[in-house]
Each structure stands twice: as C-alpha cells, then as structure tokens.
Amino acid sequence: KIGLLDKYLSGIFSNIKGFATGKLQIVGGGGNLKYLGNIQLKNGELKVNYTQCTYRIPLMNVSLKDSSIDFGTFQITDKLDSIRHTADITQAKLYHHAFNNMRFDFAMNTNRLLLLDTKITDNNLFYGRLIGKASLRFTGPQENMQLYIKGEPTDSSNIYLPLATTRESSDADFIVWKVYGKEMQAQTTDKKSSNINVKLDLTANNYANVFVILDPLTGDIIKANGHGQMHIEVGTTQDLTIQGRYD
C-alpha cells in the first residue's frame, strides 16, 4: 500500500491509495531515509486538495532515486466516467531531500475531465463543478508552488462567484468583472508551510453556467450563460482577482 505518502504530500494531495509491487530499498535512518528502486502502481487513487477532485490511476511505473521520484507518463480518470473522462500526464517528477524541500514538475493534458469540484465550505471566493478540456502545469518548490490551468468546459458546468454580502454590490458591473477577495488560510505540511499561487485562463461557452451571488441572505443571484474569457488568480497569501469579459 502507498498510503504512507499521505504524510509527505498532505499539503497538496490526500486520500492517497493504491498497491505497489517491485523492488524498493529503504536506506538511512532518522530524518534521512531514502527510498530507492522501481515499482509499479496499480489501482491508484488520490484527491487534489485545492480542486477537491479525486482521480484514479490504473497503472503507473515509478522510479525512486536518491533525491527525486519520476512517475513517468501515465493516464488518469475521474470519478464520473472512467471511460470518457481521461487525461495524459506528460510530466511527473518530484524532487526532494529526504522528503523535505520538495519541488514539483507536473504537466497534464485532457480533452474531458473533472477539473473543479468544490463547495463554498472549500473555497468561499469561487467554487463549483467544472468539466472540460484543459492543459495544466504544476511547478515550483513547496513554499512557492505555481499552478496554471487553461481550460474550456465540455459538459454541463456551474461556477459560483460570491461578490458581496451587502446590497451595495447590486451596482457592480457584471459585463467586465474585477473582483477582490479575502486572504486564504495557509495549509501546512509536516515540516514546511505550503504556498500555492493559482492562475486559471477559462474560456466560457454554453456548457458553463455562471452564478453571481449578490446577497446570499436574500438569495439575490444573477445566472449567466454565454461566451467569454475569464482570468482568475488566487493564492495562499494572495487575494482573489477575476478579470475578463462575458457576454
């Protein structure tokens, strides 16, 4: 079982499951353990904490070296449709020093996959469910991770944007948005704080419903369905900004 990786990757991933076979050496002691060898993972699964999406990994070959883990190239599926919802992981490397000072280098392409599956309790700045095609790049050291996603919905999707809790928000311009939010709470891992900056370039189409929540207490909501471009940036220590045009 590979659940032991949870404690090393808990700031980014969770619910890591799967079964591995192969030759693996564990050398060193104390805080300087090294895992060396080659293993094959079957029936793997994990959740991406930021997007709350759970993905399944049918098969993956992993090479563990002194200061890096190379996950190779492999396919993933989501929990909605294991046949039509797939993605190609084209780059997957983790650099580390005894699983400290971790640095990530991941890339993904998909024509149809669950990309976002959050509720307001996960992120009160923007949330919802998004199914689409996308290219993704995840890089950087643990204290300054960068996640870039360029995507477009390919199936029914709902995005919720809570703008304010007061009636003054009714004067806002909903054609060109520029929204500022509150600071996110930082997550911490075993040794070092995690900081992630997220940039999303989303192309809206008729598959996407956008709900602008003016006042959650009274239920004042504007529902929009159309075309446009949205650029979203948010981070552990960065305010949310949403810019773009939606017609």
Tell me whether residue 48 is exposed, middle or buried, using C-beta atoms within 10 angstroms of its C-beta: 0 to 12, 13 to 18, 19 or more: middle
pLDDT of residue 146: 94
Q: Residues 242, 178: contact at Cβ < 8 Å?
A: yes
Q: How far apart are CA 217 and CA 210, in angstroms?
A: 19
Nearest to 42 by CA among 1, 14, 8: 1
Each residue's pLDDT tens digit, 121-151: 998 888 999 999 999 999 999 889 999 999 9
pLDDT of residue 177: 43
Question: What is the secondary structure of 15-77 as a DSSP string?
Answer: EEEEEEEEEEEEE--TT--EEEEEEEEEEEEEEETTTTEEEEEEEEEEEE-SSEEE--SEEEE
Q: How far apart are CA 243 and CA 217, in angstroms?
A: 25
pLDDT of residue 60: 94
Beta strands in the chain (DSSP E): 13-27, 34-48, 53-64, 68-70, 74-78, 86-97, 100-118, 127-141, 145-153, 157-162, 176-180, 196-204, 208-215, 220-225, 228-235, 238-246
Q: How far apart are CA 87 and CA 239, in angstroms?
A: 30
In the chain, which residues have pLDDT < 50?
Answer: 165-179, 182-191
pLDDT of residue 4: 62
Q: Residues 138, 190: contact at Cβ < 8 Å?
A: no
pLDDT of residue 1: 65
Nearest to 106 by CA among 60, 140, 58, 62: 140
